[in-house]
Amino acid sequence: MAAGVVSVPIPNDTYKLGFIGSGKMAESIARGVVNSGVLPASRIRTAHLGSSRRSAFESFGVKVFDRNVEVVEDCDVIIFSVKPQIGSSNLGTSILSSEPSSDGLDFLGLASHLMTFFHISSFIASSTTSVGLGLWRLSLNSYGLGLFPVLTKAPSQPPGSYMVKSSEPYAGALYMGLLLLCHMILCLTFTCRNSLYTHFFGKYYILLFALAIMLFNGFAVKEVVLQLKPLLSEKLLVSVAAGVKLIDLQDWAGHSRFIRVIPNTPAAVGEAASVMSLGAAATEDDGELIARLFGAIGKIWKADEKLFDAITGLSGSGPAYIYLAIEALADGGVAAGLPRELALGLASQTVLGAASMVSKGGKHPGQLKDDVASPGGTTIAGIHELEKGGFRGILMNAVVAATKRSQEFSKR
Ligand SMILES: NC(=O)c1ccc[n+]([C@@H]2O[C@H](COP(=O)([O-])OP(=O)(O)OC[C@H]3O[C@@H](n4cnc5c(N)ncnc54)[C@H](OP(=O)(O)O)[C@@H]3O)[C@@H](O)[C@H]2O)c1
């Protein structure tokens, strides 16, 4: 938001909440918000064409539109809950379209996977057998034909959504250019029919294809924010996309009334550990409103965004460390003679109980440990083994390693 422009307050009693992206995270937040009574379902919106995602939201009263623009137009607070990057599974829908897909077959995605597989496998075969060379030739033709659907309207997309449609027109053009370049290199390869050229250009083609995919990495959130940009002024914006920084989000949205939140997967059971950081134009009231929403799916803290890599290393990745610990405790129980089901139940409830003692009891975990370790008893014998194995150091190292990994991702 430009300097000096005052953020219009969000009307607490009447505001509407919209989700761009209606996946697991959006559903967890929406369900939590409705169940906790923070907001009635009648004031929540999302968009999707697929019947399973639509009915997931409609089942608890959320209105589901066909298009993202309808969500933005109707809502005051917008939560972007799409993937931060392009995964191979949504290559067809997310790179080239700015709308959610239907449940139907993703023709372009499927075709691009098949063609890639066909090309690479027949390239490998072509270096050894003449049948392989023939197959590769055939794949060249199918590849040429396969370009046409990219330029046409996809049958499963919402009305007005074309496969090559982007607020950054060069993105579609660049993608198409790279594909055509690959195509030309393949043609040249076949013209030469010299095995040396075949190897050289074939490998070059594969590199170019990888480059094309890398260039589009990170477009999921960016593309959707850019496309909706003309409608986003005066809205309070929130992103839960992992690893996407406020500075970029604000740049794409054209204003800085943006809040970035990192939740974690226990959001699905209402036990998320979330952290938020406020963009330059987000007000204290905005922060409180978002804290109430995310408070409905667990606990939320406020922190400087520069801590987000460490937060990712601790609470973002942390659930996986604890799953490992629960599984190992259960294995120990089985090794000591317990039936598997009983061992798993005891292990998970023990972790839950211990976590509640720390978060609800108010005592330091070191004190709680001392309280249960009686002299010469069973617990101190177990703790001794953990200390010999470097248990604490291993957990600390895990958090530091995950933080470093997150820093590497942030620098890309
Ligand atoms: N799950 C978690 O616990 C968790 C934890 C921390 C952070 N996050 C973050 O939350 C975000 C969402 O994660 P998720 O687990 O909910 O993923 P998800 O289940 O894959 O949901 C993403 C949803 O976005 C939709 N979508 C894709 N492109 C779209 C577009 N252009 N317009 C509108 N909708 C679009 C997808 O539609 P289709 O059905 O067509 O694919 C899908 O329904 C991610 O950025 C992730 O980093 C999630």
Q: Name the residue with the closest Cα to ligand 1, atom 29.
A: 100
Q: How far is the CA of 5 from the centre of ligand 1 (A)?
A: 32
Strand 44-47 vs strand 298-302: parallel, antiparallel, or unpaired? Answer: unpaired
- The answer to which of 17-31, 46-60, 80-94 has the lowest mean pLDDT is 80-94
Q: Name the residue with the closest Cα to ligand 1, atom 9.
A: 241
Report d(CA 254, CA 4) in Å as an integer: 15
Is residue 351 within 8 Å of 324, Cβ to Cβ? no
Please report the atom of ligand 1 found closest to the CA of residue 243. Answer: 47
Among 11-15, 126-130, 162-166, 289-293, which range has the highest average pLDDT?
A: 289-293
User: Both ends of the chain: CA-CA distance in Å?
Assistant: 26
| C-alpha distance from residue 308 to each of 16, 64, 325, 399 (Å) | 28, 32, 24, 12
Report d(CA 141, CA 120) in Å as an integer: 14
Share of the chain above pLDDT 70, in %: 66
Report d(CA 125, CA 131) in Å as an integer: 8
- The SS3 of residue 301 is strand
Q: Name the residue with the closest Cα to ligand 1, atom 40.
A: 101
Q: How far is the CA of 103 from the centre of ligand 1 (A)?
A: 15
205 vs 395 pLDDT, higher one:
395
> Is residue 103 scored above 70 in pLDDT?
no
Average of per-residue pLDDT across 100-116: 51
Question: Given ligand 1 and candidates 22, 25, 55, which is best to mutate, with the most ligand atoms within 8 Å of its CB?
Answer: 25
β-pair partners for 302: 276
Q: How far is the CA of 160 from the centre of ligand 1 (A)?
A: 22
Find where tokens 């034909």 sit.
145
Report d(CA 69, CA 50) in Å as an integer: 17
Find where tokens 């074939």 sit.
202
State residue 274 phi and psi, 5-degree precision: -115, 150
Q: How far is the CA of 331 from the centre of ligand 1 (A)?
A: 34
Q: How far is the CA of 342 from the centre of ligand 1 (A)?
A: 35
Please report the atom of ligand 1 found closest to the CA of residue 239. Answer: 45
Mean pLDDT, the chain, as a whole number? 80
Q: How far is the CA of 301 from the centre of ligand 1 (A)?
A: 22
Is residue 136 within 8 Å of 215, Cβ to Cβ? no
Q: Name the residue with the closest Cα to ligand 1, atom 25.
A: 21
329 vs 99 pLDDT, higher one:
329
> Is residue 155 scored above 80 in pLDDT?
no
Average of per-residue pLDDT across 214-239: 84
Q: How far is the CA of 209 from the centre of ligand 1 (A)?
A: 25
pTM score of the predicted model: 0.73
Supply the DSSP symbol for 362. -
214 vs 347 pLDDT, higher one:
347
Report d(CA 75, CA 10) in Å as an integer: 10
61 vs 8 pLDDT, higher one:
61
Count each helix (H run) and each strand (E run) in the chain, helices first.
16, 8
Question: Given ligand 1 and candidates 28, 81, 271, which is best to mutate, with the most ligand atoms within 8 Å of its CB?
Answer: 81
| C-alpha distance from residue 402 to each of 116, 243, 260, 342, 411 (Å) | 32, 13, 20, 32, 14
Task: Go through the chain and tell me how many residues it has.
Answer: 412
Residues with CB under 6 A from ligand 1: 20-26, 50, 53, 68, 81-84, 90, 93-94, 98-101, 220, 224, 240-242, 263-265, 267
pLDDT at 84: 81
Find where tokens 């960016």 sit.
222
- The SS3 of residue 238 is strand
pLDDT at 129: 55
Sign of CA dihedral 159, 71, 21, 61: negative
Q: Name the residue with the closest Cα to ligand 1, atom 19.
A: 23
Provide the CB-side half-sphere exposure for 258 (13 A, CA).
25
Tokens at residue 376, please? Answer: 């010469």
Report d(CA 220, CA 82) in Å as an integer: 7
Report d(CA 19, CA 34) in Å as an integer: 14
Q: How far is the CA of 355 from the centre of ligand 1 (A)?
A: 29
- The SS3 of residue 291 is helix
Tokens at residue 168, please? Answer: 């950054």
Please report the atom of ligand 1 found closest to the CA of residue 26. Answer: 16
Kindly report, residue by residue over 164-223, the tens digit of the pLDDT.
Answer: 333 333 444 555 566 667 666 665 665 555 555 555 555 555 555 555 554 544 468 999
Please report the atom of ligand 1 found closest to the CA of residue 89. Answer: 41
β-pair partners for 182: none
Report d(CA 301, CA 343) in Å as an integer: 34
Please report the atom of ligand 1 found closest to the CA of residue 24. Answer: 16
Nearest CA-CA partner of 234 in 252, 264, 218, 258? 258
State residue 77 phi and psi, 5-degree precision: -120, 125
Q: How far is the CA of 48 from the centre of ligand 1 (A)?
A: 12
Report d(CA 230, CA 239) in Å as an integer: 18
Sign of CA dihedral 328, 334, 338, 339: positive
Question: Given ligand 1 and candidates 29, 83, 261, which is best to mutate, with the most ligand atoms within 8 Å of its CB?
Answer: 83
> Is residue 93 scored above 50 in pLDDT?
no
Is residue 85 within 8 Å of 242, Cβ to Cβ? no
- The answer to which of 143-147, 201-205, 264-268, 328-332 has the lowest mean pLDDT is 143-147
Q: Name the residue with the closest Cα to ligand 1, atom 11.
A: 81
- The SS3 of residue 245 is coil
Please report the atom of ligand 1 found closest to the CA of residue 242. Answer: 47
